[in-house]
């Protein structure tokens, strides 16, 4: 299955944004979890966006404007979290029917 994709504007440039294995690996190795995100922890959401967007920029051969998570947090505003809303809007029916039992 293809990952949901959107874009994110950082430091005046538009970057591709989607979930990557490297981004998730770096996110977890930094001490965050997807459970933290599900609980609405802003620190985890910002870390997820940082690690994913940094990897997406690398894959697109684009210079990423932030050298660290701290620089990213200091250099962005709260609107950056809107990326999650855009990802959900990109494929609103992706999770439809997941609660149904098999064969129904």
| pLDDT the model gives residue 102 | 42
* CA distance to 31, 40, 42, 89, per residue, from 36 (Å): 10, 7, 9, 22
Extract the residue ranges of the chain whose pLDDT is less than 70. Answer: 1-2, 88-104
43 contacts 36 by C-beta, under 8 angstroms: yes
* CA distance to 13, 58, 84, 85, 95, per residue, from 91 (Å): 24, 24, 12, 11, 9
| pLDDT the model gives residue 4 | 78
Handedness of CA 82, 83, 84, 88 (dihedral sign): positive
| pLDDT the model gives residue 91 | 54
């Amino acid at each position: 299955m293809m990952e949901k994709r959107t874009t994110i504007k950082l430091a005046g440039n538009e970057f591709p944004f989607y979930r990557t294995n490297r981004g998730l690996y770096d996110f977890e190795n930094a001490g965050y979890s997807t459970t933290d995100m599900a609980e609405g922890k802003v620190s985890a959401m910002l870390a997820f966006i940082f690690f994913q967007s940094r990897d997406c920029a690398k894959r697109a051969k684009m210079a990423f404007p932030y050298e660290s998570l701290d620089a990213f947090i200091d250099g962005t505003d709260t609107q950056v979290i809107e990326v999650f809303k855009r990802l959900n809007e990109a494929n609103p029916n992706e999770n439809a029917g997941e609660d149904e039992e098999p064969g129904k």
